[in-house]
Amino acid sequence: MTHAIDIRGLHYRAGRSFEIPSLDLRVPTGAIYGFLGPNGSGKTTTIRLVLGLLRPRAGDIRVLDRPMPRQAADVLARVGYVPEQPHLDPTLTVREAMRFQAAFYPTWDHAWAEELLVAFELDERRLFGKLSKGQKGKLMMLLALAQRPELLVLDEPTDGLDPVVRRDMLAALIDYVSEGGATVFISSHLVHELERMCDWIGVMDQGRLVTELPMERFKNGIKRLVVSGAPPAVAAPFSLLSRERNGAATETWLVRGWEPEMHAFFDSVGASLQRVIDLDLEDGFVELLRTFRTLPPRPEEVR
């Protein structure tokens, strides 16, 4: 498997208040990778490191099989970026912003840019500074898509936008990926949005990557189990994240890495599995973070 983004042993510190102690993260080529985490977890910082806007203290970053930031000029010519906060000159019109962006990218698709302009219902004569938040978001997505990038990096692209605007932007994104096979790295705290479109998921919290795996494995592997007759300690074939007693008869276990054939494990320890409860992505995300925050740092993260 090749990786559009490959981060190994990344260490970054911002003053005394925030640190990414040791990050390993890999985005498969051609994937729509959802980078999920609460505000302040380190998602935007990681994106800025990937794009060469910040410099790590240690570790390696490769983007499109090129080292960053050493080959940033080559890499960024092939990357479309939608930042969390739009950064265009407020005195430019929509049309001028398009011309300005097109001048930097030989791959700019003029015909498709015109199609997106119409589809997003943008007024080419309107100043960027006079656009609504939703219109600014649409223009930023247009500029990123029209350059026909191999990799799209999107930092909270639909945060605060109304459902209609979000739908239009994400539909254009999915159309582009399905046509050209581009890789998408999309950061969000809107769990339900990522659940519908992503095939890989990474969860970030407090500067650490909690988990990284295909979306279906994430959704299908985290369960609540209602168990009776379980011994105090067990060596289970899954990860036991938490264990709570429900009165005298049963316990509720939160597990990760569950597979249907693991039912037999409970017979082997003299217990009985009463129920298997599915969790949607948001429930799984919340439970995973709650458990993760009770764990001590790994040895390689202590500096």
Name the residue type at position 210.
V
In the predicted structure, residue 301 carries a pLDDT above the cut 50: no
Write down all domains in the chain, each with its CATH number in brackets: 3-217 (3.40.50.300), 223-301 (no CATH)
178 vs 8, residue with greater confidence? 8
Locate 226 and state its tokens.
């209602």
The pLDDT confidence band at residue 132, using thresholds 50, 70 and 90, is: very high
In the predicted structure, residue 178 carries a pLDDT above the cut 80: yes
Mean pLDDT of the chain: 90
- Mean pLDDT for the stretch of residues 233-252: 88
The pLDDT confidence band at residue 231, using thresholds 50, 70 and 90, is: confident
The pLDDT confidence band at residue 298, using thresholds 50, 70 and 90, is: low
The pLDDT confidence band at residue 17, using thresholds 50, 70 and 90, is: confident
Res 303: pLDDT: 42
**133-to-43, 158, 232 alpha-carbon distances in Å:** 21, 10, 54
Burial 237-262 (b: 16+ CB within 10 A, else e): ebeebeeeeeeeebbbbbbbbbeeeb
CB 182 within 8 A of CB 149: yes
- Mean pLDDT for the stretch of residues 37-41: 88
Q: Is the peptide bond preceding residue 69 cis, with omega within 30 degrees of 0?
A: yes
**Among 61-65, 143-147, 272-276, 295-299, the least confident range:** 295-299
Can you point out the beta strands (E) in the chain? 3-14, 18-28, 32-36, 58-63, 66-68, 79-82, 151-155, 183-188, 200-205, 208-214, 223-228, 239-246, 250-256, 272-278
Give the tens place of pLDDT for each residue, 232-242.
888 999 988 88
Name the percent of the chain lying above pLDDT 90. 65
| 183 Cβ contact partners less than 8 Å away, ≥ 6 residues apart | 4, 5, 27, 28, 29, 30, 31, 32, 33, 150, 151, 152
d(CA 54, CA 32): 24
Res 72: pLDDT: 95
Task: List the Cα angle 56/59/65 in 5-degree steps.
Answer: 100
Host H or E run for residue 138: helix 133-146
Res 296: pLDDT: 56
Helix (H, G, I), strand (E, B) or coil at 31: coil
Helix (H, G, I), strand (E, B) or coil at 213: strand
- Mean pLDDT for the stretch of residues 298-302: 47
- Mean pLDDT for the stretch of residues 49-74: 96
